[in-house]
Amino acid sequence: MIRGIAALRALAVWMVVIHHLRTPLGTIWPPLAETPVFAAGVDLFFVISGVVMVVSTAGGHTGAGQFWARRATRIMPLYWLVTGAVIAALVMGLRPLGIAGWSGQDALTSFFLLPDIRSDGYPAPLLAVGWTLVFEAFFYLIFGLALIARAWVEPGPVVALSMLMLISLGALILPEGHAGEVVTSPLLLEFAAGVCLGLFARNLKGMSPLTALVLVLSALAVLVVGTADMIARLGPVDLITTGRDGAFLRVGTFGIPACLIVAAALVMEGACWRLPPTVAGQAAASYAIYLIHMPLLQVGEKLLGHGPLLILMMPVIAIAGVIVHRWLERPLTHAARALVSPQQRPKSSSSRMISSSSR
């Protein structure tokens, strides 16, 4: 178990929740309604994913097929369940998550995390937070392909180099279509940076805790200055729809601090500290919280309105996330893995924590 990474997963998911609570929180502190800084939780997740994939496949015992199967059974069952609930609501004539229009193609591309623009013009699956999983799925595809060549070359450097080549290709040819934008997006730099941090994790663990403090302070400085510049350039816009230029700006503003913070967590891993039970619980439930928080916030808006009372949904989301993780996510994951690999022995709890810690 990488304790620092686990703590950052809890931090990242609650940054995303707070980002989606900007409007009611803005009634308490107005500047918060106009700053996208908490959206950096997504960038933190991307860097973490790169680290975890390198660490969890170290040792040369994981093949591409096993890797893809474990990632699919980890990510897809709960995602399919929540996406299915969204589609069921749409079929009943409701408008969950503000979806203005949808089609059968939207449902298909959403279920299989294919990059596409919905019928209502939004570049995300029907479960909008799934846009990050589209990037995760592509990263897993590249990483699995690199594992095939493990007999000849280390997969980590191959993955990082492949990401850089795809980004460079996109900058040169400017591909049309949403799929082309995704597979050449500057956001892939964050996964590549995470892979590099994973490769150097052992070296980082040997550094002084003072180094971690310097890294965190540097991250905060870049985050504050970069966010101010982002607001000046773009204003309070939806960062998902800003295109390639916005993605480069996001990597500089959010991606660099995310890398510094993850590096600081790895530096502190050798220190003698324990993860508080509450933080550990939220870290384990981070993926469940990530998937369900938007539908729960919409229910909260119906009951509490759009004002500051909506903040009361935060403990509801925290508790619901733990319940969904324990009673739905874990059983679904175990059942899916038993179906895919019935002869595979269950891993120890610490191994499960590492292998699942990208979300």
Tens-place pLDDT, residues 9-19: 999 999 999 99
Query: Could you write out the DSSP letters of every residue in 65-97?
Result: HHHHHHHHHHHHHHHHHHHHHHHHHHHTT--GG
Dihedral sign (CA 137, 142, 148, 152): negative
For residue 188, give the nearest of 233, 244, 226 by alpha carbon: 244
Predicted local confidence at residue 1, as pLDDT? 59
Average pLDDT over residues 58-65: 87
pLDDT band at residue 49 using 50, 70 and 90 as cut-offs: very high
Quote the tokens at residue 124. 């995300």
Q: What is the CA radius of gyration of the chain?
A: 20
Asked if 38 and 15 count as a contact pair (C-beta separation under 8 A), the reply is yes
What does the pLDDT look like over 248-279, one tens digit per residue? 999 999 999 999 999 999 999 877 678 899 99
Dihedral sign (CA 143, 146, 151, 156): negative
Cβ neighbours, 10 Å, residue 56: 21
Full-model pTM: 0.94
Predicted local confidence at residue 349, as pLDDT? 43
For residue 16, give the nearest of 181, 326, 239 by alpha carbon: 239
Q: Is the pLDDT of residue 207 over 90?
A: no
